[in-house]
Amino acid sequence: MNTKIKVADLPTFDPARYLRDDEDIAAYLTQVIEEGDAGELAQALGVAARARGMTQIAQSAGIGRESLYKALRADASPRFETIAKVCKALGVRLVVQTDHVV
């Protein structure tokens, strides 16, 4: 029997479920940064924060939880200060390096 599945019946994909440790979060954020979309970075930081616990990250970053949700939406343009605070709370850092392959 050929059963059809409606798209609406499929589960929503949540990448936060797959970010189990610091290495997963760092790899995920690195991939997003390499793609170069600032909105995606804000959203990816939000996903990482949800994986760790938004309340905990908000407290560690010194930002209100609701403000953090707003700042880390895909259509948001968070200030660098906010991104830096969230990265510190997540235990990751942004690193600049040359693009030269050795």
Distance CA 23, CA 102 (A): 24
Residue ranges of the chain whose pLDDT lies below 70: 1, 101-102
Residue type, 52: R
Domains of the chain as residue ranges with CATH: 38-91 (1.10.260)
pLDDT at 3 (0 to 100): 83
pLDDT at 58: 97
Task: Quote the pLDDT of residue 1.
Answer: 62
User: What pLDDT does 102 receive?
Assistant: 61
3-state secondary structure of 35: helix
> Do 87 and 94 contact (CB within 8 A), yes or no?
yes
Q: For position 97, what pLDDT does the model report? A: 78
Query: Would the CA dihedral through 78, 79, 84, 89 be positive or negative?
Result: negative
- Amino acid 2: pLDDT: 77
pTM (2 d.p.): 0.82
